[in-house]
Amino acid sequence: MSGDTTMFHGLSGKTRSDGPASAEIERRGGAGVRETKDTAMLFPEDAVRFWGEQAEALVSWSEGWSSVLSGEKEMSSVRWFDGAKLNVAYNCIDRHLARGRKNKAALIWQGDCNDDVRVFTYQMLHMEVSRFANVLKKYGVKKGDRVVIYLPMIPELPIAMLACARIGATHSVVFAGFSAVSLRQRIEDCGARLVITADHVVRGGKVLPLKTHIDQALSTLSQVLNCIVVKRGDGDVSMQEGRDLWYHREINCIDILPECEPEEMAADDPLFILYTSGSTGKPKGVVHCCGGYLVYTLYSCQYVFALHEDDTYWCTADIGWITGHTCTVYGPLGLGATTLMFEGIPSYPGPDRFWQIVEKYGVSIFYTAPTVIRALMRYGNEPAEIHDLSSLRILGSVGAPLNTDAWKWYNTVIGQELLPIMDTWWQTETGGIMISSLPELGGGQGCAGGKPLPGVDAVILDENGQEASVGVTGSLVIRHPWPGMLTGLFGDGREYLVNYYQKFPGMFFTGDSGCRNANGCLAITGRLDDVITISGHRIGTAEVESALVSHTSVAEAAVVAMPHPVKGQAIYAYVSVKDDVGQDDQLIEELKSHVRKQIGAIATPDVIQVAGGLPKTRSGKIMRRVLRKIAAKEYNDFGDTSALADPSIISDLIACRKNEA
Ligand code: PRX
């Protein structure tokens, strides 16, 4: 299918009468041409040419590549844009200054309180990022060094990321909801010598401590030489002399110059490490490199949302996750748009907060997660109806399957049955959006699924590695390389190969299951491994299990997902306690708080069942499908349980589940 590389599927023919005219929408179309044809292309020939064209059109390079794709015999070790040089911060800031966007809003920050607003034009962002880059240099950060950023949703978070990108340091953002233990694990794993944090977090009208987590994490970690602290709250925090520095003092220091030459980076130099959960107890440090990641981020944002420089784009995800990296920071800024960042929560001070923000800033693209839609639905239609949402032109969803009820509400109440809803599938590992619904094909209706973006060879395979028939569930696999693919797991080459390239040799295994419908759309149904998606956040069951067994009362733990009306999935933990431990409500609460301390609030089990024993096979393997069914209150059809050492455990577990609320 050569030459047919610029089709655009993102927009339905319908537009709001008072919204942008359809001709205007056509003009904004990312790749320019709108088609609904199949997006298949010949791999790898067309794809290589295609990605070369995208890279040229979307990214400014200081040196060109000698080959678009090399080493493609092994998908696990391909290199994108070999020989090319660029700087990601230059692409997200500097080049816009020369394109007449100097005084255009690059970043609008809406604080938790409505009056708390900060706006950075591209020029202001340039100055702040350059100054902070110089601060990092002053404290010895060099190209290739890792910097951990543990910040809440305040402007200094993207500023710190871009400052790292400017000097070639590799950032690793740790979601500010993670505990001191999780933070320590990540700092140690990536070997950071400098961390950036804030004194407090302000959210939902509350001021919570954050610096204390860093202090705790660093108390047994001598590798960190400096900690830069952004002042967000009012209260005092302890500052360790010689190690801790205030951001505002450093950046305003007289010797800090407002100019910082961007470091020239090779396309395959790392840009960031982002830790995510897998099926082992240890989080995986997914590595993304400058060239491929930026090309794919700009491509996928532009393609799916037709994201254009006059858009105000609001992705509601925390920047601590890949969605925020790609869709709040690098995507919109790379494309010269205005990105909106919100510090607070959807329900504070009232349930109309999101819609009030959409109206206040004239948001044109709104991208959120199904769990948020489901939570907002619960407040009824009024919170949305009292606001003027006519600036919206595209709605998006990511992170978990978008169920039909949530889709319908989003479509009628927010979209007024006029706006396309892009249900997008992707992962930390993919860098950008890989599959998106096609409103024109009647897709985007709940879990109807979507199509791979042009250049993405995503298929559903059966256990034998053959393409599964229509309607048959199988594994979601990417058969050919794409520029946004992870380039490795930090410090763990073996785990990288085993995780992604072993199940279907030579192809990337996503860990998800799905099926193809008659339209060729792929519906993604859930994880095949022991990973749970809670409110769109990935948590490995093994991580929660090891947190539980680290409590002195717990002998054994098995964690599974249970369906949840708002979060999609929630954590159900079965624990057996040591002989001398009594079972009471206090123990359950203590275990929940223990998990919060070990991992963070998002990993708190909704239910902990203290069980007399776990259903194990004679070889000692826990039969998780039995546990999943009981957690979901499905008490029949357990399948073949003849391998269980003690089948009577099942009836005990059921009796206990029935007694729970
Ligand atoms: O299971 C899929 C689910 O979220 C996982 C990726 O999680 P993470 O790396 O944290 O990235 C989140 C968002 C980019 C996937 O393996 N997932 C993501 N989007 C969808 C989805 N499941 C169903 N439908 C989606 N649209």
pTM (2 decimals)?
Answer: 0.91
Q: What CA–CA distance (Å, rounded) separates 521 from 437?
A: 8
Closest atom of ligand 1 relative to the 423 alpha carbon: 26
Closest atom of ligand 1 relative to the 317 alpha carbon: 13
Residues 498 and 576 in one domain: no
In three-state secondary structure terms, 22 is helix
Residues 506 and 547 in one domain: no
Q: Residue 597 forms beta bridges with which residues?
A: none
Domain end position, chosen among 465, 489, 516? 516
Segment-wise mean pLDDT, segments of 10 residues, the chain, 661 residues: 27 28 30 41 86 97 97 92 98 95 97 98 98 98 98 98 98 97 97 98 96 97 97 92 98 94 98 91 94 98 90 97 98 97 97 98 97 95 98 95 91 94 96 86 59 95 95 96 97 94 96 91 89 90 92 93 94 91 86 96 95 87 91 90 88 90 62
- pLDDT (0 to 100) of residue 37: 44
Q: What CA–CA distance (Å, rounded) separates 447 from 528?
A: 17
Residue 386 lies in a domain: no
Q: Is the CB of 426 under 6 A from ligand 1?
A: yes
What does the block give as tokens for 496? 């990288």
- pLDDT (0 to 100) of residue 446: 52
Residue 480 CA to ligand 1 center (angstroms) comes to: 20
Q: Is the CB of 12 under 6 A from ligand 1?
A: no
- pLDDT (0 to 100) of residue 269: 98
Residues 67 and 181 in one domain: yes
Closest atom of ligand 1 relative to the 511 alpha carbon: 16
Residue 510 CA to ligand 1 center (angstroms) comes to: 10
Q: What CA–CA distance (Å, rounded) separates 513 from 528?
A: 6
Residue 368 lies in a domain: no
DSSP notation for 462-510: -TTSSBPPTT--EEEEE-S--TTS--EETT-HHHHHHHHHTTTTTSEEE
Asked whether the beta carbons of 287 and 270 are under 8 A apart, the reply is yes
Residues 212 and 323 in one domain: yes
Residue 459 CA to ligand 1 center (angstroms) comes to: 16
Residue 426 CA to ligand 1 center (angstroms) comes to: 5
Q: Is the CB of 396 under 6 A from ligand 1?
A: no
DSSP notation for 499-555: HHHTTTTTSEEEEEEEEE-TTSPEEEEEESSSEEEETTEEEEHHHHHHHHHTSTTEE
What is the dihedral angle through the alpha carbons of 204, 208, 211, 212, rounded to the nearest 10 degrees?
A: -150
CATH number of the CATH domain containing 606: 3.30.300.30
Residues 509 and 637 in one domain: no
Instruction: Quote the distance between the C-alpha of residue 642 and its chain's center.
Output: 41
Q: Whose CA is nearest to atom 15 of ligand 1?
A: 427
Q: What CA–CA distance (Å, rounded) separates 160 from 147?
A: 9
Closest atom of ligand 1 relative to the 397 alpha carbon: 26
Residues 221 and 270 in one domain: yes
Of 413, 432, 403, 152, which is closest to residue 307 (Cα–Cα)?
A: 432
Q: What CA–CA distance (Å, rounded) separates 270 from 289?
A: 4
Q: Whose CA is nearest to atom 5 of ligand 1?
A: 427
CATH number of the CATH domain containing 240: 3.40.50.12780
What does the block give as tokens for 331? 């995507």
Residues 116 and 168 in one domain: yes
Q: What CA–CA distance (Å, rounded) separates 45 from 37?
A: 19
In three-state secondary structure terms, 412 is helix
Q: What CA–CA distance (Å, rounded) separates 499 from 501?
A: 6
Instruction: Quote the distance between the C-alpha of residue 184 and its chain's center.
Output: 21
Containing structural domain, residue 93? 44-344+420-516
Residue 267 lies in a domain: yes
Residue 490 CA to ligand 1 center (angstroms) comes to: 21
Domain end position, chosen among 486, 516, 546? 516
Residue 488 CA to ligand 1 center (angstroms) comes to: 19
- pLDDT (0 to 100) of residue 40: 61
- Nearest-10 crossing angle of helices 624-631, 648-659: 20
Of 275, 66, 314, 250, which is closest to residue 183 (Cα–Cα)?
A: 275
Token look-up 């009836």 returns 651
For strands 488-489 and 85-86, give the pairing. Answer: unpaired
Q: Is the CB of 512 under 6 A from ligand 1?
A: yes
Q: Whose CA is nearest to atom 21 of ligand 1?
A: 400
Residues 324 and 461 in one domain: yes
Domain end position, chosen among 516, 549, 579? 516
Asked whether the beta carbons of 397 and 435 are under 8 A apart, the reply is no
Of 329, 395, 337, 342, which is closest to residue 367 (Cα–Cα)?
A: 395
Contacts of 533 (CB under 8 A, 6+ apart): 399, 400, 526, 527, 561, 568, 569
Q: Is the CB of 398 under 6 A from ligand 1?
A: yes
Residues 484 and 620 in one domain: no
DSSP notation for 226-271: EEEEE--SSS-----TTTEEEHHHHHT-TT--S--PPPPEETTSEE
Residues 485 and 614 in one domain: no
Direct distance between the N- and C-terminal alpha carbons of the chain, in angstroms, rounded to an integer: 57
- pLDDT (0 to 100) of residue 39: 53
Q: What CA–CA distance (Å, rounded) separates 486 from 286?
A: 6
Residues 85 and 190 in one domain: yes
Residue 450 CA to ligand 1 center (angstroms) comes to: 13
Residue 138 CA to ligand 1 center (angstroms) comes to: 39
Q: What CA–CA distance (Å, rounded) separates 541 from 341?
A: 31
Residue 398 CA to ligand 1 center (angstroms) comes to: 7
Closest atom of ligand 1 relative to the 527 alpha carbon: 1
Residue 347 CB burial class (10 angstroms; 0-12, 13-18, ≥19):
middle
Query: What is the domain count for the chain?
Result: 2
Residues 120 and 219 in one domain: yes
Which DSSP letter does residue 453 get?
Answer: P
Residue 369 CA to ligand 1 center (angstroms) comes to: 10
Q: Is the CB of 423 under 6 A from ligand 1?
A: yes
In three-state secondary structure terms, 573 is strand
